Structure 1
Amino acid sequence: MTNKQTTYRIEGLSCANCAAKFERNVAALPSVTSATVNFGASKIYVTGTPSLKEIEAAGAFENLTIYDDQMPNGQQSNQDKGFENQTALEKMKQFLVKNQALWFSTLLIVFGYLSEWLYGSNTILTPLLFISAVLISGTTLLKEGIRNLVHLEFDMHTLMTIAVIGGVLIGQWGEVAVVVILFALSEALEAFSMRKARDAMASLMTIAPDKATVIREGKHMELPVEEINEGDILFVKAGQKIALDGIVCSGHASVNQAAITGESIPVDKVVGSEVFAGTLNHDGVLEIEVTKTKDDTTIAKVIEMVEAAQLNKAPAQAFIERFARYYTPLIMGIAAAVAVLPPLLTGADWYDWIYQGLSVLVVGCPCALIISTPISIVSSISSAAQNGVLIKGGIHLEQLSKIKTIAFDKTGTLTMGEPTVVDMITLSSRQENDTLLSHVAALEYTTQHPLARAIVKDVESKGIQRDESATNIQTLTGQGIQGEFGTHTITIGQPHLFDSELTPEIRQLIETQQQQGRTVVLVMEDDTLRLLIALQDKVRPQSKRVIAQLAKLGVTSRVMLTGDNTYTANTIGKEVGITDVYANLMPQDKLTHIEQLSSIQPVAMVGDGINDAPALARADVGIAMGGASTDTALETADVALLSDDMSKLPYAMRLSRLTMRTIKWNIAIALGLKIIALLLVIPGWLTLWIAIMSDMGATILVTLNAMRLLYVKDAM
């Protein structure tokens, strides 16, 4: 059997319990190796060779409709897109139309009670109206419940079916009909609410346009994005969205990147600037060389990772799902005990206590409990993605809410990451010359370190060409670089690399520069120190504000981990509000510090996702900055801030904590209302009406509470 994995979209998936059953049904197919349902994204990932009819048959119990995900645009059906673009009023109208059978059944119940009031209980019309209402709105429920009973599977459909059958046997036609109607209404509202939560994520899929204007052979032609290749030139006018990631090769414009990075202020784009699919050209005309095709754009990767994130369950969600497996049999046992023990032990009326037992079954329906966590996670992850924060799973969302210690890289995180050369000091009697600088530029050109780029830029600004004759170039990890030019060996690195060569005078020079917050790089030719290069990096304007906000949020330990010198690190740390500074660190030293911090309490690490990859991976939560332009950041970190600064970090912290509070409240609501209803059994006050209203009320309350997370915005 092939191990090919295929993704299918699911329509009609309303509850987590149904999702789990559908997953089991598909996995049991002989042609399937494995199957995983993504309830949040309403998709199933199937490994094997099943036909679409086989998968639809596995979902027949819930009348699920299955689509191959590789439809035009590979995203959604037209029905989905229509729902997504509707106003709230239009969505409600669609909800009302879609549930016509439910409203007709409700009308029959009204007529049933009217008949009972007018003609009493002796007419056949009354039970006929109630039975009709049950059959119209509860056929699917009863079929699934009876099938479950035959196979000894116990879920909410089983509970409700037993309650309905029992209610009919004891002649409670009216209450049975009401129970079925309210259960159907509860499921319909749950499906509507879950779709609303998915809608937030689905809106990401429509950000980038389906077509774009391309310049080919001097002609402008409009093409579907699927037909546009890397290297093609996009022509984007003012007011148009950019269809694919690329580099500006002509023109100048302000581009609104809010859809990707969450930044509300448009960013100026000039020749050489990077632009992203789905962003809006405010003014000007741009010609853009395509660097990524449709499936590889930043927004495509964000969508893919947001969907994958929903499979990565939070511990709270996993606990609820395990709890629910034992919860349903427990409720059935309690209901049986309530129905049987009082009559047997005290001689109480069998009718009354069977009625109470049936009511316990209805109260015990676990809808609200099961939906309480996943809808919160889906809402939160979707909301975060729309605000420029990619959280790669419920487990990371929950862990982020516990963070009290955050470690920051300095260069490119707290600072701009664009240092400039501010001084060059000759260290030997032999005067600095252009040849030495050409060697320095040649070596530094081979590395992407921000200091190296700054040195190359400064040398080139002097009109000095790089010497391309370097051989045996070696990177001295975390320390510098070395190479040979003819008979001479040039070594460039931090002062501690040359510790044995430093004279008191040179040490004093280094210390003077470092006290001014500058970073020092030394150049040695053969065995002689020839040049001191001093560089300075600017602190990001947002850093101080962000650190202050984190302090207010209870992040008590704010740590800087940097390979820079102690003086510079302390100067910047003091300026932005860092509590602990660790300087002169190699990459493995950063990892060691993260391990030490993590042994005390959960720690998050904020870095650029490349140089800090080991520390990001080891931290309890790895947070990468600038994910919109860095594939490594998207892949390495647990959380990616899609903008190139930390301004979204406090928002992510607030959202994670609000999400966990919401989940706890939802669980409390779901269990609390059921416990209160169950306590009514003691005085014998529990009725089927009260039972179904408590279950429906809990479902509506937890759903509305979770959906608040869709509207959490960055307060900045």
Structure 2
Amino acid sequence: MSDQSKKKSDIEGKTYRVQGFTCTNCASIFEENVRKLPGVQDANVNFGASKVYVKGSTTITELEKAGSFENLKIRSDKEQRIEKETFWKQKENIKVYISTILLVISWFIGKQYGEEYFPPTVGYAASILIGGYSLFIKGLKNLIRLKFDMNTLMTIAIIGASVIGEWGEGATIVILFAVSEALERYSMDKARQSIESLMDIAPKEALIRRDNKEISLHVDDIQVEDIMIVKPGQKLAMDGLVVKGTSTINQAAITGESVPVTKIINDEVFAGTLNEEGLLEVKVTKRVEDTTLSKIIHLVEEAQAERAPSQAFVDKFAKYYTPAIVVLAFLISVIPPMLFNGDWSEWVYRGLAILVVGCPCALVVSTPVAVVTAIGNAAKNGVLIKGGIHLEEAGNLKIIAFDKTGTLTKGVPVVTDIVTYDKDEKELMAIMAAIEKGSQHPLSSAIIRKAEETGLDLNALSVDEFQSITGKGLKAKVNNKIYYVGSPKLFEELHQTIKSTIKQKISLMQTEGKTVMILGTEKEILSLIAVSDEIRGSSKEVIGKLNQMGIETVMLTGDNQRTATAIGKQVGVSEIKADLLPEDKLIFVKRLLGKHNSVAMVGDGINDAPALAASSVGIAMGGAGTDTALETADIALMSDDLRKLPYTIKLSRKALTIIKQNISFSLAIKLVALLLVVPGWLTLWIAISADMGATLLVTLNSLRLLKVNE
């Protein structure tokens, strides 16, 4: 890389991975410290994904200095993950063990020889210093800056407890706060594991054929157009197209599909999937940083950084709540002794208990752990949820609108009936197919495919003056004669009326759920062609499940009312809207949003883009093969499988319930403990138990989201 391009990339920014975050507050401090480094213009920390984005130029050594208060380890985004020590052997936890042993020994000596005896106090003091050393450093720095957070609260409480002679309780506060932080660290690590496991799915090397030689290359050195050789039982290292061989591929890692998929020549395959049977040669189509797996990991990590509405509320609340607790504790410690001759020792003790119980640990951790866990679980099951806000929106859904073609149906229409009223069937079929060649309409492919299967030569026909009649059909001159191809509506406008026998035939085919297209001139109808789009096997089951969950289902389609009704009844949707142009779908979605606060639109991520964008939650089908779906949808079902939808709603609802439970419980336990101050029942022991108990419960409650499955 030239010096100029290196300078340019530094200015543009670089992403680093961070190891050792214990809490959201530590992430904020680290972000502040990085911004102050020389050469750094801006920095953004993603706590959920344990990453920092730095705009400007700096070094890993400088970044580690900025994170030295938490002993953070930094590595480049592309570097291999550093193997972590097991939870029990982590340095932070070893300090807790030593501190706890000292506390227990000191307590035992105190019980044997009395608390006034000198050694217990020394033991308690040692326990406080060993277990709370890093806490004091952070807390005192914050106190000097008048910045009040959990560390500040705990530091004041521990020093205060020591000053009034409550050494044992001070040491207990240190240990239990350290345990609380360890639990938070453990739960976030557990939640992140689902994404870290995705990173390890694809091999780091692949067998590549270049210049008739087979060489093993690192994925960073593999180029687009390289031929990758994948043996049975091997995982694919890169995305590509099969150029030789046939095999079944297990795509569960990307799409969540449990059943392996057969791949033949020209089929797309993804990095991280498993080749089960045959030998495949795959032409690489994307560099390693652009593979579908890389995009999923990147998007999920970005999603984990996005704050859910409830998290934004908690953060805003904690900003005012923590200083308020400090003020309240100070007033309770000072006012009764000064104004009402209260005992200083007793009221300072009560003030310290308020500081401990007021610590917002449980509240702050209540939402991020739940959001990160839910998004990670979804990713492992082939569902990409692009942020906490979309997770919460999906949990609130009461109505879902479905595009019909390619969503409720397979999206591969086939010709089912051909009825002719003049000329030879093959001749009319050839005229219709020749006109349809100029169209982008989904049904055109069915007619062209039928003509090719029949062996018709479409190039023999001269097509001129091609014109698309929006939403109705086509007009073109074939062999110097003007023909129209389109819906019955178009021919009603052209002919004013359609013969009753033809109308009956059209009506019969439409009742069977078929779309009827007419070939004719300005004066007569020459042929009817019925095209049908096969319903997905899972559609009825999925709609049934959603209806049972209390979700209203609406089908939106550009097809005629009869065809739409036939398909709608088969799948069991609550409401059917037919004859819709793309702008009509957008209007209808906006109308639904007026009635309901939250509306989802399910489509293929390319068509119906305006309706997907306007909905509260845009859900794209088959995201694994569509860059557009990955980039534009709020939620992408990576497999072309609707059955992932009820699971997504179930997970989102569960996450929403858990977030609400966590916030309510955290606030309730604080309120109850604070009320105990009035009769003087709040001791430091109760305060510590309440704070630690709340943190433990909200953490374990959030981790229940790992258990949610289909």
Asked if these proteins are the same fold (TM beyond 0.5), I'd say: yes
Task: Answer yes or no: is 1:314 the counterpart of 2:305.
Answer: no
| Residue of structure 2 equivalent to 1:467 | 459
| Residue of structure 1 equivalent to 2:637 | 641
- Equivalent positions of 1:147-296 (< 5 A) are 147-296=141-290
Q: CA deviation at 1:209?
A: 1.3
| Residue of structure 2 equivalent to 1:704 | 700
Q: CA deviation at 1:10?
A: 1.3
Q: CA deviation at 1:650?
A: 0.3
1:654 to 625, 650, 657: 650
1:644 match: secondary structure:
coil
Q: CA deviation at 1:164?
A: 1.4
1:13 match: secondary structure:
coil
Structure 1 pair 170–245 and aligned structure 2 pair: CA distance change class (3 A): same
Letter in 2 for 1:37: V
| Residue of structure 1 equivalent to 2:4 | none
* Contact 2:408/2:535, CA 8 A, preserved across alignment: yes
- Equivalent positions of 1:607-618 (< 5 A) are 607-618=603-614
| Residue of structure 1 equivalent to 2:54 | 46
1:40 match: secondary structure:
coil
Task: Answer yes or no: is 1:370 the counterpart of 2:364.
Answer: yes
1:458 to 430, 450, 464: 450
Letter in 1 for 2:618: G
Q: CA deviation at 1:527?
A: 7.2
* Contact 2:517/2:529, CA 8 A, preserved across alignment: yes
1:193 match: secondary structure:
helix
Letter in 2 for 1:493: G
Structure 1 Cα separation of the partners of residues 39 and 467 of structure 2? 53
Letter in 1 for 2:152: T
- How big is each residue's C-alpha offset from its partner over 1:366-401, in whole Å with a ceiling of 9 and x where there is no partner? 111000000000000000011111111111111111
| Residue of structure 1 equivalent to 2:377 | 383
Structure 2 Cα separation of the partners of residues 342 and 471 of structure 1? 96
Task: Answer yes or no: is 1:357 the counterpart of 2:361.
Answer: no
Structure 1 pair 278–447 and aligned structure 2 pair: CA distance change class (3 A): farther
| Residue of structure 1 equivalent to 2:687 | 691
* Contact 1:421/1:454, CA 8 A, preserved across alignment: yes
* Contact 1:604/1:623, CA 8 A, preserved across alignment: yes
Q: CA deviation at 1:122?
A: 4.7
| Residue of structure 2 equivalent to 1:664 | 660
Letter in 2 for 1:570: T
Structure 2, unpaired ranges of 5+: 1-6
Q: CA deviation at 1:680?
A: 2.2
2:554 to 523, 538, 559: 559
Structure 1 Cα separation of the partners of residues 33 and 51 of structure 2? 15
Q: CA deviation at 1:221?
A: 2.8
1:554 match: secondary structure:
coil
Letter in 1 for 2:398: K
Structure 2 Cα separation of the partners of residues 152 and 4 of structure 1? 35
Structure 1 pair 31–476 and aligned structure 2 pair: CA distance change class (3 A): farther
| Residue of structure 1 equivalent to 2:672 | 676
1:628 match: secondary structure:
helix
1:664 match: secondary structure:
helix
Q: CA deviation at 1:484?
A: 5.5
Q: What is the root-mean-square deviation of aligned Cα atoms in Å?
A: 2.3
Structure 2 Cα separation of the partners of residues 448 and 245 of structure 1? 28
Q: CA deviation at 1:271?
A: 2.6
* Contact 2:164/2:345, CA 8 A, preserved across alignment: yes
| Residue of structure 1 equivalent to 2:3 | none
Structure 2 Cα separation of the partners of residues 136 and 447 of structure 1? 76
Structure 2 Cα separation of the partners of residues 495 and 26 of structure 1? 67
1:56 match: secondary structure:
helix
Structure 2 Cα separation of the partners of residues 368 and 431 of structure 1? 78
Letter in 2 for 1:569: A
Structure 1 Cα separation of the partners of residues 123 and 467 of structure 2? 87
Structure 1 pair 348–257 and aligned structure 2 pair: CA distance change class (3 A): same
1:167 match: secondary structure:
helix
Farther-moved stretch of structure 1 (465-474 vs 51-60) = 465-474
Q: CA deviation at 1:50?
A: 3.7
Structure 2 Cα separation of the partners of residues 678 and 250 of structure 1? 71
2:709 to 692, 701, 713: 713
Structure 1 pair 25–93 and aligned structure 2 pair: CA distance change class (3 A): closer
TM-score normalised according to structure 1 size: 0.92
Farther-moved stretch of structure 1 (247-256 vs 662-671) = 247-256
| Residue of structure 2 equivalent to 1:500 | 493
Task: Answer yes or no: is 1:600 the counterpart of 2:595.
Answer: yes
Structure 2 Cα separation of the partners of residues 471 and 59 of structure 1? 70
Task: Answer yes or no: is 1:62 the counterpart of 2:70.
Answer: yes
Q: CA deviation at 1:545?
A: 0.4
Q: CA deviation at 1:494?
A: 2.9
Structure 1 pair 473–221 and aligned structure 2 pair: CA distance change class (3 A): farther
1:593 match: secondary structure:
helix
1:571 to 561, 566, 569: 566
Letter in 1 for 2:299: M
Letter in 2 for 1:393: G
2:624 match: secondary structure:
coil
2:443 match: secondary structure:
helix
Structure 2 Cα separation of the partners of residues 653 and 111 of structure 1? 52
| Residue of structure 1 equivalent to 2:539 | 543
Farther-moved stretch of structure 1 (349-358 vs 499-508) = 499-508
Structure 1 pair 228–439 and aligned structure 2 pair: CA distance change class (3 A): farther
- Identity, in percent, stands at 50
| Residue of structure 2 equivalent to 1:79 | 83
* Contact 1:35/1:47, CA 8 A, preserved across alignment: yes
* Contact 2:494/2:522, CA 8 A, preserved across alignment: no
Structure 2 Cα separation of the partners of residues 373 and 542 of structure 1? 34
Structure 2 Cα separation of the partners of residues 706 and 378 of structure 1? 9
1:450 match: secondary structure:
coil
Letter in 2 for 1:565: N
Farther-moved stretch of structure 1 (680-689 vs 654-663) = 680-689
Q: CA deviation at 1:297?
A: 1.6
* Contact 1:36/1:45, CA 8 A, preserved across alignment: yes
Structure 2 Cα separation of the partners of residues 11 and 475 of structure 1? 58
Structure 1 pair 217–361 and aligned structure 2 pair: CA distance change class (3 A): same
Task: Answer yes or no: is 1:17 the counterpart of 2:25.
Answer: yes
Structure 2 Cα separation of the partners of residues 314 and 131 of structure 1? 42
Task: Answer yes or no: is 1:522 the counterpart of 2:511.
Answer: no
Structure 1 pair 516–123 and aligned structure 2 pair: CA distance change class (3 A): closer
Structure 1, unpaired ranges of 5+: 84-90
Letter in 2 for 1:615: A
Structure 1 pair 643–118 and aligned structure 2 pair: CA distance change class (3 A): same
Structure 2 Cα separation of the partners of residues 394 and 471 of structure 1? 53
Letter in 2 for 1:170: I
Q: CA deviation at 1:143?
A: 0.9
Farther-moved stretch of structure 1 (679-688 vs 21-30) = 21-30
TM-score normalised according to structure 2 size: 0.93
* Contact 1:501/1:529, CA 8 A, preserved across alignment: no
Structure 1 Cα separation of the partners of residues 357 and 510 of structure 2? 70
2:35 to 20, 27, 35: 27
Letter in 1 for 2:78: Q
Structure 2 Cα separation of the partners of residues 68 and 105 of structure 1? 35
1:464 match: secondary structure:
coil
Farther-moved stretch of structure 1 (42-51 vs 403-412) = 42-51
Structure 1 pair 360–222 and aligned structure 2 pair: CA distance change class (3 A): same
Farther-moved stretch of structure 1 (273-282 vs 134-143) = 273-282
2:509 to 509, 513, 522: 513
Structure 2 Cα separation of the partners of residues 545 and 226 of structure 1? 44
Structure 2 Cα separation of the partners of residues 541 and 99 of structure 1? 53
* Contact 1:23/1:35, CA 8 A, preserved across alignment: yes
